[in-house]
Structure 1
C-alpha cells in the first residue's frame, strides 16, 4: 500500500488519430517543461476483485530532479517526502517514520515519471483510446518492475488530469488532480523531512 502511494507520477497512433498522438506529446511536454508543480488530488484505491474501495485526498508538490511531497489529509493522514537522496514516509497516527534510498524507492515508478529526470530512458509510451473525457497514455517501464503492472496518464487537453496504477497484486489506484500549478517557486524546506520528537525511525 505504501509503495503504491509513492507511486503518491506512460504504435496505436494510426488507429486512434491525432488527439491521441497529442496525449503522448502532452506527456512529453509536461516532463520537459514542468520543472516544479503543485496540485490537490483525490485518490481512489480499489481491491483486485473490485469489492472494496478507499478514497483519500491531499496535496502533491514536486521539483525536478527527484524531489516530491505527498501530504494525505485526515482521517488517513500521512506524509511522503523525497529530498533527492532518500524517500521519507511518516505516519502521525503511529508516530513512526521510515526512509529508503532514492534508487530503491523510485525506480521506473509513477513518482519517477512525474518528478524524475529521464522519461525516454525509463518508459515506453503508447497512446490509448480516450475515456471519461480524457486522453490517455500508457507508460511501460523499460526495465521490469514488480511493484506495478500498469501505469496510465490522463490529460485534458494539455493539462495533467489523472494517473491510473495497477500494482503487482492487482490492486488499482486512481489519482485525480485539481488546481494544478506548473513551475511555482517552492521553498526548499518543502522537500526536507525532520523526524518529529519521540518518533520511531525505520531505515532500509
Structure 2
C-alpha cells in the first residue's frame, strides 16, 4: 500500500558527458513543452522500490493512461493489485483485495504528486517545484524539488527519450528510491473519458476523505 500511495499520492546517477543548464527558466520552458505536447499518454510501467542501502523492497507492474488536464488511470497488476482513477475533481484509490475504495477531492496538495503531475496543468509546475535539467543526445533528465515541505518525496527525476517520457525516479527523506520505467508509451491517441471515473463494485467499502 505504501508503494502505490507514495507514487500516486506523494543523489541521482546520470550519464557522463551531460551538460547541465543553470537557467531555471530554460528548464521550466523545456519541461512544459515536453509535457504539454502529450495531451494523452498510455502504456505499461515497471516499478521498483529500493531502501537506502539498495535492497529491493517491492516490485510491481501495470498499465497507465492519462489525459490532460487531470485525468489519470493507474492500474497495478496482481498480486499487489490497486487502481487509482482521477477525473480531474476526485481521486479514487481502489483495493480489490480489501474490497475498499478511498475517495479524495483533487485538491492542490494532490496535484503535486508524481503520477498526477504527469497529467496536470503544466503551467503550474514552476509554482510547485524548483527545476533543473541535463541533456545528452536523445535523453533529457529533469530534477524537480518540491517547494513545499510536507511532501512524500525530496527529489523527483523525470527522464525523456526522443521527446517521450521514459522513466521517473523518486527519492524520499530516508533515501528510499522508487524507479518507474514506462514501456510501449503512446502519445495523443484517443482515450474515452469514461476510463477516468470509477463506480465501486457492489459490496465495496467506501471511505470518503474530506
Q: Assess same fold via TM > 0.5.
A: yes
**Which category of TM-score, normalised to the shorter sequence, fits these structures?**
0.7 to 0.9
RMSD: 2.8
CA distance in 2, matches of 1:141, 1:201: 31
Q: Which residue of 2 aligns with 1:28?
A: 32
The Cα of 1:166 is off from its aligned counterpart by 1.7
Which consecutive unaligned segments of at least 5 residues does structure 2 have? 11-16
CA distance in 1, matches of 2:30, 2:60: 27
Which consecutive unaligned segments of at least 5 residues does structure 1 have? 9-14
User: TM-score, length-normalised on structure 1?
Assistant: 0.84
> Which residue, 162, 171, 195 being the options, matches 1:166?
171
> Which residue, 97, 115, 123 being the options, matches 2:129?
123
Q: Which residue of 2 aligns with 1:153?
A: 158
1:81-96 superposed matches below 5 A = 81-96=85-100
Q: Is the 1:129–1:135 Cα contact (8 Å) retained in structure 2? A: yes
Provide closer, same or farther for how the CA distance between residues 104 and 49 of structure 1 changes in structure 2, counting only shifts above 3 A.
Answer: farther
The Cα of 1:20 is off from its aligned counterpart by 10
Provide closer, same or farther for how the CA distance between residues 187 and 76 of structure 1 changes in structure 2, counting only shifts above 3 A.
Answer: same
- Runs of 4+ in structure 1 deviating by more than 4 angstroms, as ranges, are 18-26
User: TM-score, length-normalised on structure 2?
Assistant: 0.81
Provide closer, same or farther for how the CA distance between residues 19 and 158 of structure 1 changes in structure 2, counting only shifts above 3 A.
Answer: farther
